[in-house]
Each structure stands twice: as C-alpha cells, then as structure tokens.
Amino acid sequence: MENKKLIIGFVWTFVLATIVIQSLEGFGLSFAGYMILFFIALVSTVAVETMIPEKKHLGSELLSELQDLRSRLDELTKGSD
C-alpha cells in the first residue's frame, strides 16, 4: 500500500515540478501541453492502482482460518451435547 502511494506521489510531483519549471523558465506550455501532462499523470495513477494489488495484513488469512475452525468446533461440541 505504501509503495503505491509513493509511486503515485512521485508521478504527480514530477508532473507538477515539470509545469513549475517550464513556467519559471518562460517556456509556458499551451493548454494542450498541460492537458497531456495531466492525462499522463492520471493514466499512471490508474495503472498503478489497478496493477499493484492491495497488501493484506500479515496473518489475516491465518486469523480467518482460526475463526472458521473455532466456529466449526463450537458447532461440533453443541451437536454432541
């Protein structure tokens, strides 16, 4: 999860820094240039969000298995009474 946020933050920081540097040097982009940079950042953000899976908490699968076993054991003990 943190890696995704770092990548997305880097992409947007790079795009914003490029725009600021271009403006300070006097090479102002046209509206189409700004839109292209925005589109690149937006596509990169969507690609990172879809390609990198969500990180599960360590042990969450084990915890759910233990809870499932506990419920099964409770059902078995109630049935034998």
Instruction: Residue 8: name the closest of 56, 57, 42 by CA.
Output: 42
pLDDT digit of tens for each residue in the chain (81 aa)?
568 888 899 999 999 998 888 888 887 778 888 888 899 999 999 998 888 877 666 667 778 888 888 988 888 888 665
Q: Which two tokens stand for residue 61?
A: 């699968």
Q: Which of 31, 7, 9 is nearest to 19 (CA)?
A: 31
| Residue 26 region by backbone torsions, left for phi larger than 0, else alpha for psi between -120 and 50, else beta | left
Q: Could you tell me how many helices (H) and strands (E) the chain has, helices first?
A: 3, 0
Task: Record the pTM.
Answer: 0.57
